[in-house]
Structure 1
């Protein structure tokens, strides 16, 4: 998460200050060819690690649920690490249950909302898993859902992915065929491995599963990411040791 610099409380006026120093948002970077495969893996790992921490919870507190996870709410710092910068809908943990607010008619960000379990009054960490799956799909396909897509009523990215992935089932019996939605341009990236692409595609599809109970936990997602050949090969660059350290409050 973006680190807090400080806060001020002056009567009814409240102010929180965060250290951004961001290079760009993941939303803006996803379609760009200059955003490499390795950089995308770094984002995938960082956000998965954060969500795993937030969803873990403690015996006396329920897990945190971000609820409005969006590629536009993830910034990259000067070292290329992803930072979540919007907590306007977060609930759980030490916070009051915000899903009880009768005026809270919003349950996610457009293009990332879970249409299967994200209804009013139904709050689950599986909604964050769904949104993470959408972000993961964007990272490997270079697709983002734009305002223009909405105006002409194009399918959401998860709808497109489910259709394309299902269409590839006819070839699934062929052992040489790997079901992958990775953008073809990544084949020329020196750090890309087709096996990685197929594994990440399968993982993303599990995250956006229509049945939320069959979606993986973020702990399972992170564990799967850490087994990828690209992660093992570039562990120092990706900050794997840092991800494996126990999270501390305030860091």
Structure 2
């Protein structure tokens, strides 16, 4: 706390004013303002009896419960908690089902366009995906963050020349062309409902809005925050422009 001299006025860093027990109620308001407006290095310190200082605001005790609203069984796995937090308790819609629906929608739209212009493209072999395949796709996508390789195609490399760094698990789960097809068509929202930029109702994050809405609903339902919530700094350097605000 920073204390200022002037009619026994105490000034703290929160711009709050308190008085010692010996202070007269008649104070010089103009003197207070002048002291506050002074540069920090020009404000002298004075000794104050701590027993006579009264907080301007009382701190209210935090008694709300925190953590998971509902505990899973003791033998629950991380996957059980993951599925709990991606399932909307009101509609039973899951993040996986949302991705399946919108990915199939976008793939069908893309397929119609490609058949008119490039009938022999890779997307022409598209078949509808489902929740089990989408889970496998997401698992492989997460695995690429653990196993580092120079290109996406190299995860499916089975050449004898690269036997030392082969990852047969990727091939056992999904073929490369199928993975790339899903990656190409992966969507979270219907593009046909997007409002053009500059018009009323335009949403900068339209493409991922359903995911944010779903997770906000599930996290607020299943997890109760504590009194103090801290947003940490970014872990990856970014020098671009943020258009989300």
TM-score (norm 1): 0.21
Which has the greater radius of gyration? Answer: 2
Higher strand share: 1
